Chain A
């Protein structure tokens, strides 16, 4: 087995410092929770939760949600490739009272928001875009 393998890939565990995580949490709080979003998570493509905040009234099973969201995102991405697309535009699922919105932060991370009727999709998209920009700035 030769050099085709990225030795580091097996051990490419990553970590973020407490300052970075706190900065990310502030972004999530100010941009999203303060705008009325019920719950927000930054997850990686393997389904790990990097950061999570909510309005204090949510008791969703977030680990399961992160696992489902990452796997589902990958499934949608693969379908896009099969029909010849680079990627599909943003994912959004609408329910009676709760909605889920998925956004790619970069190649490795997703932003998942759960929101109700008091936030319009337009506002949400705007706030998500702002949050993503700020989070990417923190990572760099």
Chain B
């Protein structure tokens, strides 16, 4: 039992500054430029790895990522209880704002907050492209 407990858990994957810069560029180019309001790359513990937005969002992204990781884990556990490997992608639709969740790999989730200007079809396409590029960077 160590006495050096800290309050932060670090993800297994350590990303360098260059990698983080590249990821931020992808989030901006693929998603924010396509009209997504806010996009977060988080780990499964709810820590924010990268965050970009269109400059008009003042969401509490720390709470959002804690809730998103909990939501993802709870849904995953429910899937197991009813005998499923996993449920398909998570998507929450609101009047104006919607949230889309995607698994990047075993460690990371991509959370996109978007409005009516972006169709779900376009969003899925852009998210898939972004994930592919992010995975390439992470594997470097």
Contact = CB atoms under 8 A, between A and B. Distances in A.
Is B truly associated with A? yes
Interface of A: 60-61, 64-65, 68-69, 71-72, 75-76, 78-80, 82-89, 91, 93-98, 100, 114
Nearest to A96: B84
Nearest to B38: A83
5 contacts: A68-B74, A79-B99, A93-B88, A94-B87, A97-B83
B74 A75 contact: yes
A38 to B, nearest CB: 9
Given A79-B67, A98-B83, A85 B78 contact: no
Given A61-B81, A78-B63, A97-B84, A86 B95 contact: yes
B103 to A, nearest CB: 14
Contacts of A61: 81
Contacts of A88: 92-94, 98-99
A40 B85 CA distance: 21
Nearest to A89: B93
B17 interface: no
A75 B85 contact: no
Nearest to A83: B97
Given A75-B71, A88-B92, A64 B64 contact: no
Tell me the dominant secondary structure on chain A's binding face.
mixed
Given A64-B81, A93-B87, A95-B84, A83 B59 contact: yes
B75 interface: yes
Contacts of A69: 78
B79 interface: yes
- Of listed A78, A82, A84, residue having the most chain B CB within 10 A: A82
Nearest to B82: A98
B19 interface: no
Contacts of A91: 92
B79 A82 contact: no
B78 A68 contact: yes
A87 B79 CA distance: 23
Interface string B49-87: 000000000011001100110110011011101111111
B3 interface: no
Contact of A98 (B68, B71, B84, B94): B84
